[in-house]
Copies of this chain bind each other. A is one copy, B any other.
């Protein structure tokens, strides 16, 4: 990665490669167009307006969110056709109803008869249709989350096929019972390598693909070069008595996700395959070589290491601002929404 502008940032800093974001987004758009399936991108990884614009190709329509805070954030900024993909929370019924009044289309998920009772008591705006008791079934939603245990294309596609077949069979049963509605499945691994039958679905809803991360590269959703995010971290200490470096990225800068998953610790340290991010405190990372003794002259105090996150959703969540660049030239900042 070229570093001209980036080296001026105060660290730890989350940096986003805009070209890779656009490439990842465009590939998913084209993949879905080719299948003839609606793409409803998930916002939970980044939670920013700018990235949502890229993922929806500027339409600001047809998105998924994981929190009601995200739903309000996007609604307030002109987004619409928002699916709140979360087991309908009973403490948020009024806020859901209020949001539905603001939007042309706001959809919620139900997975329990009690939730249906709650929704009947306080229907959304689009609900009241004759004979539906204020609630209308729009579709069937499945996550396909078991792709996250896969390694490689073959396994991903086996799970994608299994989930797709399950959902299509279920849709068939619904049709036999006189119910017609949409089908939607998600997960970045399956949508990065879709199987042919996914073309029979109405919609897919992946999210992480816009950033990708080390986890996705291990699963086989992408290659490491596709990962659009890094955490820049400065060397702040030399600990020759422990054969370690201290860096200024602790768990507050990259999260604790990925513990025990990588031979390189909590991240991949770009360009330094022999370095391991061994452990962290709130604001410190301990880095040691996988083998041999550290040559401290290679890592002077103030020099930078570039961490590729294990799980970009978890890492992005730790940062109040993302620094956007193109080929190392800083372009600006994106500010995510937070909370629930």
Residues in A lying within 8 Å of B, measured CB to CB: 9-13, 44, 66-68, 86-92, 95, 111-112, 114-115, 118, 145, 234, 236-238, 246, 248, 251-253, 255-257, 259, 281-283, 300-302, 313-314, 317-321, 338-340
Contacts and interface: CB of A to CB of B under 8 A. Distances in A.
A65 to B, nearest CB: 10
Contact of A67 (B145, B256, B281, B283): B283
Copies of this chain assembled into the complex: 2
Contacts of A95: 10
Contacts of A256: 255-257, 259, 314
B66 A302 contact: no
Nearest to A113: B301
B246 A87 contact: yes
Contacts of A300: 114
Nearest to A8: B91
Nearest to A313: B282
Given A67-B283, A87-B246, A87-B248, 7 more contacts: A10-B68, A86-B236, A90-B302, A114-B300, A115-B301, A248-B340, A282-B314
A92 B248 CA distance: 12
A237 B339 contact: no
A234 B89 contact: yes
Contact of A91 (B10, B91, B251): B10
A57 B3 CA distance: 46
A317 B314 contact: no
B91 A340 contact: no
25 contacts: A10-B92, A10-B340, A11-B340, A12-B340, A44-B282, A86-B283, A87-B236, A87-B237, A87-B248, A89-B248, A89-B302, A90-B301, A90-B302, A112-B238, A114-B302, A118-B302, A253-B340, A255-B256, A256-B256, A256-B257, A256-B259, A259-B259, A282-B314, A282-B317, A317-B318
Contacts of A283: 44, 66-67, 86
Contacts of A68: 10
A299 to B, nearest CB: 12
A11 B234 contact: no
A111 B91 CA distance: 50
A230 B39 CA distance: 39
* Cβ-closest 7 pairs across A and B: A90-B302, A256-B256, A87-B236, A320-B338, A320-B339, A114-B301, A66-B283
A257 B246 contact: no
Contacts of A145: 281
Contacts of A115: 301
A257 B251 contact: yes
Given A11-B340, A256-B257, A91 B282 contact: no
- Among A13, A44, A317, the one with the most B-chain Cβ atoms within 10 Å of its Cβ is A317
Contacts of A13: 340
Contacts of A66: 282-283
A308 to B, nearest CB: 18
A78 to B, nearest CB: 23
Nearest to A145: B281
